[in-house]
Amino acid sequence: WRARTWIGLSLVEAAMGQERMASICFRLLRESTAPTAIREQADYWHVQALMNASSWDAAEAVARRAMPRFSDGASQGKVSLCTALLRGAYCGPGPAHRESLAEIGMTGLIAMRQWSVLQEVMSEYDVEIDSDRPGFAWKWIRGHRLRVRADANRAAATYRAARDSLEAALSEKQARSDLGAASQCRAELAWCQFQLGEFDKAAGNYGLASSGLERNSPRASEQAAWMEFVCFDKLARTQSRFVSAMGKAADSLRDRFPDSEYADKAAFAVRRMSSNRDPESAIVELEKVARGDNEYLTARRDICQLRYTLWRSAASGTKKTLLARSLKADWEKYRTVAKSESAADRKSVV
């Protein structure tokens, strides 16, 4: 009750035009030992109080200082703050700062992936988004909507429109000052480029997005790092100059996310890629797959196929005989592993 009383005092100070005292009160609330649920709403109450007093400049300044925290994830206080900014922008009396308040609120909701909340507020106030509207958030929202539509209809033209809007968003000044939001936008751009077959560009953007998301959104960062590898994998299949980049992307994935399932998949894909160039080297690499690895059975199968390729191409003689023995041993090992894994699967089902 003391914290709520303090909030009431802070609201009164703002209503009386005492912006400095209100700022001090809300700062003390943020730094107090009050419950976290109350402290994290300090920015919301501060901005709401300033907008109620028509102190639009001060409200915008407080909101901008809070923006870096939007990328840390959603919470009641941050979602309430962004929603209040949008409502203040579209139903408040302040004419000069309404667009900037709206953009801060939209950017925050997007960064926290609160698309349904954003859509609800925009529908409530009949907010239209056209392609010429300036600002990072506006262009990102338009690009996001087009990307969702493209995922539904799989139309290349829609992906191109989404790509263009997202690229335009990232060219805005705000994208350079809000790394978390820009990285999320960049990941959406990379997805559009991936769908359009622009794998080289997509790989670059996925790499940048992964780096920008690693601190506050580790799971999204991991997924972006995996997609960077997938892009290089596709390129390396037809252009050998990308094989090295593919390997580096796999190493980066393993080093940054050692427990990720994607790290194992990437490492295995690199081993399989080598089989297209040198069967003997590929066998050496595939033999390194440990017994407990999820890809172990597949590795044993590939070894059999590679050994068979070597046997067929070998001339009659001692070498062919030795390859036949190795192939038989590999096949027996593969069959044993396959039977044991099949039995284990049956037990898990029962």
Confidence of residue 347 (pLDDT cuts 50, 70, 90): very low
Q: Could you give the CA distance from residue 211 to residue 205 in angstroms, rounded to a whole number?
A: 10
Is residue 229 helix, strand or coil?
Answer: helix
- How far does CA 185 lie from the centroid of its chain? 9
Q: Which amino acid is at 177?
A: S
Both tokens of 250, joined, read 């796999």
pLDDT at 130: 64
C-alpha 158/C-alpha 149 separation (Å) is: 7
What is the percent of the chain where pLDDT is above 90? 29
Q: What one-character-per-residue DSSP string does 273-326 give?
A: HHHTT-HHHHHHHHTTS-TTSTTHHHHHHHHHHHHHHHHHHSPTTHHHHHHHHH
- For residue 233, which of 223, 253, 247 has the smallest C-alpha distance? 247
For the cut 90, the answer to whether the pLDDT of residue 11 exceeds it is no
pTM across the whole model: 0.62
Instruction: Tell me how far apart the alpha carbons of residues 5 and 28 are, in angstroms, rounded to a whole number.
Output: 13
- pLDDT of res. 7: 67
pLDDT of residue 344: 53
* Helix, strand, coil percent values for the chain (each to nearest 5): 80, 0, 20
Average pLDDT, the chain: 82
Residue scoring higher pLDDT (224 or 317): 224
Residue range 112-134: mean pLDDT, rounded:
74
List of residues 6+ apart from 294 with CB closer than 8 A: 261, 264
Model confidence at 96: pLDDT above 70: no
Residue 116 above 90 pLDDT? Answer: no
Looking at per-residue confidence, does 13 or 242 come out higher? 242
Cα pseudo-dihedral 84, 49, 65, 181, rounded to 10: 0
Sign of the dihedral through C-alpha 272, 276, 278, 279: positive
Given a cut of 80, whether residue 155 has pLDDT beyond it is: yes
- pLDDT interval class at 350 (50, 70, 90): very low
Tokens of 252: 């980066």
The single-letter DSSP state of residue 341 is: H
